[in-house]
Amino acid sequence: MTELVSGQAAVDALVRLLDLQALGDDRFLGNSPPDGPQRVFGGQVAGQALVAAGRTVDPARHVHSLHGYFVRGGDPTEPITYAVENIRDGRSFSVRRSVAYQHGKVIFFMSASFHHEEEGLDHHEPAPIDVPPPDELPTMGERLARYPDRMDIWATIPRPIDVRYVGEPGWVAPGARPAEDCQRVWMRIDGKLPDDPLLHACALTFASDLTLLDAVLSTHGAVWGPGGFVGASLDHAMWFHRGFRADEWFLYDSTSPSASGARGLATGRMFTRAGLHIATAVQEGLLRRVGG
C-alpha cells in the first residue's frame, strides 16, 4: 500500500510550491512536485497563477474573486511560466490577468480582482446543520484502508491537506456509493501556514479543486476510476467573502445543479467551524465514462 505523506512537511512543500521565482517584467516561474500525477494538478496551476497576480498588487488589497480556464493539460516535468497583465489599478480595486505557459503554449489563464476592504452590508446563508465535526470522521488513511485497490487514485493527488469526507468519497468501489444530493468534506491545510493573506487565499484555491467535481458523481452514485468516470476541470471560479485561515477547519459543502453533454457543473460553499461563509467556488468539468 502506498504511504500517504502529510503533516507539516507536506505543508512546507506546498508553501515552496507557491513561492514562485520572479523573472522580471511581471513574469514568474513555478514548478510541480516531483511525485505528482501525470498532469499538473488543476488546483496547483490556479494557486500559482493567483500568487503571480497577487505579487503585482498592493498587499493591502486582497483577492475577492477569480475566474480561470484550463486550456491544456500541464506537464509536471517542465516549469510553468506565468505572465501577469495589469488590467487596472483603481481607487479601491485592482484587476490582473495571469496566464500560464508551457512549451510556448497557454495551459491556463485567470482574471483576478483585488479589493481594499470597506465597511458595508453583511449577511450570509447559514451553514448546513447536523454535520459531524471533523474529529469524528475517518482520516483519509483510515478510509483508504477499506479500499486498498483504490489507493493509487488518491496517492497521485497532492496531500498537504487533511480531508475528512462526511459521506462516501468519489473513488469508492463501484456500487458502494449511494446517490446523494450533495458532497460535504471537512478540509484544512495539514500544518501551520505563514500569516500572509495571499498565501491563505492561494492555499484555499489549491484545495478547492480537490473534491468539487465529486458533487456531480454524488448525484448519480457514480465513482472515479475503473467502473466509473475520468474527468478534467474545464473552468474554475471563486469568490472570497470573509477573512479566514486555510490551516483551520472549513466545511466544503458542494452540490451539482446540472450535468449534460459529458460536462458537469458543481458549486461549493466553504464555512468555518463557527458557521461563517468564507468562500464560494464554481467549476465545470469534463466527465467521460471509463472505456466510453
Catalytic residue among 190, 209, 247, 253: 209
Whole-angstrom Cα distance, residue 55 to residue 159? 25
| Residue 219 CB partners (closer than 8 Å, separation 6+) | 179, 180, 181, 256, 259
The reply to whether 162 belongs to the active site is: no
Cell 467551524 sits on residue: 273
Could you tell me the strand order of the sheet in which 80-89 lies? 21-24, 27-30, 80-89, 93-102, 105-115, 62-70, 229-240, 277-289, 263-272, 250-260, 183-189, 161-165
The residues near 88 (Cβ < 8 Å, ≥ 6 apart) are 94, 95
> Which residue type sits at 29?
L
Taking alpha carbons only, the member of 272, 268, 269, 232 closest to residue 249 is: 272
Which residues fall within 8 angstroms of residue 4, CB to CB, at 6 or more apart?
A: 140, 141, 144, 154, 155, 159
Q: Rounded to whole angstroms, what are the CA distances from 71 to 36, 85, 227, 232, 249? A: 20, 18, 27, 11, 32
List 218, 233, 254, 256, catalytic entry:
233
Whether 209 sits among the annotated catalytic residues: the reply is yes
Query: What grid cell was written down for 116?
Result: 481594499
What DSSP state is assigned to residue 41? -
Residue 233 annotated to the active site: yes
Question: Which 3 state secondary structure label does DSSP give 162?
Answer: strand
Active site residues: 209, 233, 283
